[in-house]
Amino acid sequence: MDNYYYILFAIFIIIIILILIVIIYNNTSVIILGSDTGTIKSNHCIIATETLPNLSFNQCCTIFGSTTNTKYLSTLNLVVSPVAINYVDVCSGFCTGAFDKPNLKCLPGTNVINLEEEQLQLDRCIIASQPINCSDLSNPVAVSNTSYLYPYSAGTQLCLTSGICGLNI
């Protein structure tokens, strides 16, 4: 009877070891999206930092008197942040009229001054930040020190003034 317990114990240890191996092997690529959506594989967007504009020496945006961790990227007319958010939501901010999300088009509206210019800025933003062959919310569009910076807001509205960054980003 004692041998029976030793065999069960050995099988139990082997099962635990196999479970740990599977968890460690899959841990780097599994993201839990929520209770209803299950699990998906994720592959992070990796961009060579030397190909991105370096904003390490740029000042940080000041919003309502507080220095933030955002910076202004003039080449794309974007406020950028170390936190990735959905690139379409950010880029659609270039459309002052309506936005056709399925077709990624700015639509005419009462406040539109130059629809062609809005569409051009939208297209540049989409091309620069659209994740391709990866599952992140956005591709990084700049780098600051060791942090990737992602589109945060279209235009300069969230970066009308700037100051010395509180943190090295």
> Domain spans of the chain?
2-41, 49-163
pLDDT of residue 23: 60
What is the spatial distance between Cα 64 and Cα 160, in angstroms, rounded to a whole number?
A: 10
What is the spatial distance between Cα 119 and Cα 92, in angstroms, rounded to a whole number?
A: 9
> And the tokens for 33?
């999206």
What average pLDDT does the chain have? 81
pLDDT of residue 36: 41
pLDDT of residue 89: 94
Whole-Å CA distances, 73 to 70, 84, 122: 10, 15, 15
Cα of first residue to Cα of last residue in the chain, in angstroms, is: 64
pLDDT of residue 39: 43
Q: Which of 10-14, 36-40, 108-112, 160-164 has the least mean pLDDT?
A: 36-40
Write down the pTM of the prediction. Answer: 0.70
What is the spatial distance between Cα 41 and Cα 136, in angstroms, rounded to a whole number?
A: 11
What is the spatial distance between Cα 8 and Cα 113, in angstroms, rounded to a whole number?
A: 76
The label of the residue with tokens 């309502």 reads 64
Dihedral angle computed from the Cα positions of residues 108, 78, 101 and 120, in that order, rounded to the nearest 10 degrees:
50
For 27-51, the pLDDT digits (tens) are 443 333 333 444 444 566 776 667 8
The HSE-up count of residue 65 (CA atoms within 13 Å, CB side) is 0
